[in-house]
Structure 1
């Protein structure tokens, strides 16, 4: 759960700072906060254990699982590392609680008055960016 929340925070601060997404995959609202499903699926087997390998993808031509590295510029690697450094001492549940705050992008989607199903609720990048820009203007870390 920590990884999922850290990725959300890196994405949010990136949107607020660079006005473009850090990654292409959608962010969904799940019970315990924002989730990037492909990341969750790639690492769910680790549970609370440390992650000790890259995510993998299926090579359709060979049928083999191939590790997926990362494709970030040095500048973006530093950006993500800085965000992770800010939040690294927070527990998974602290990070989750922070994403549940009233008015957060997750809260606006999860606690809507509109009747919706709870699977695949997308959190729009525009809403994430606006939330983190407000935090940025206030000088707030989360």
Structure 2
């Protein structure tokens, strides 16, 4: 039985573990790629179950959907492949702990499908995928640019309604974006990075 939504860092850890197993070391995942793959997993799980895969909300950042908790956990890797796993922290003692991986069979199946379909794509291609015209990110980003929203959050109903636009177009040229996400200006207070734990 599903216990979704799950801790987004735990789902990210599961995705990274499965990428290592499926890719046999030939599917390196950078923080930017992780965000896009995780968002695809979230969309597919939401479409299949009506329940979000992860707790919290993805946000529309410059290079696509980003889950802030996952960004915080893995941003120290910059543009390099992730080699470690996110950890939890006891707020009372400050001690770190391993995160329990979800044992959800459907989630595992969806992660496997996403990795098989998009896990080998370079980060710029994944950005193209997440930037699909009329897709969830495109819709919210347009509202941000026009000043029609006060938050970067991509609501699950928008993800569900517009996720179908995120399709792989093998003939599309890769965009010129770097393969690392930058913290939006309004978040650059120092608190997001300084409290990061891996």
Q: TM-score, normalised by structure 1?
A: 0.84
Higher strand proportion (structure 1 or 2): 1
2-structure distance, mates of 1:121, 1:104: 15
Between Structure 1 and Structure 2, how many residues are aligned?
137
2-structure distance, mates of 1:131, 1:117: 18
Residue equivalent to 2:65 = 34
- Gapped runs of 5+ residues in structure 2? 1-31, 170-198
Superposed, 1:1-142 pairs within 5 Å as 1-112=32-143, 114-115=146-147, 120-132=151-163, 134=164
Q: How far does residue 63 in structure 1 lie from its aligned partner after superposition?
A: 2.1
Q: What is the Cα-based RMSD across aligned positions, in Å?
A: 2.3
2-structure distance, mates of 1:72, 1:117: 36
Q: How far does residue 68 in structure 1 lie from its aligned partner after superposition?
A: 1.7
Superimposed CA distance per residue, residues 57-109 of structure 1 (whole angstroms, 9 cap, x where no aligned partner):
22134321222232231332122122122101211111111211221111111
Query: Which stretch shows the higher mean deviation, 48-57 or 79-88?
Result: 48-57
1:109–1:121 CA contact under 8 A, matched in 2: yes
2:83 match: secondary structure:
coil
Divergent runs of 4+, >4 A: none
1-structure distance, mates of 2:128, 2:106: 29
Q: TM-score, normalised by structure 2?
A: 0.62
1-structure distance, mates of 2:155, 2:92: 34
- Gapped runs of 5+ residues in structure 1? none
Query: Which stretch shows the higher mean deviation, 10-19 or 27-36?
Result: 10-19
2:153 match: secondary structure:
strand
Q: How far does residue 52 in structure 1 lie from its aligned partner after superposition?
A: 2.2
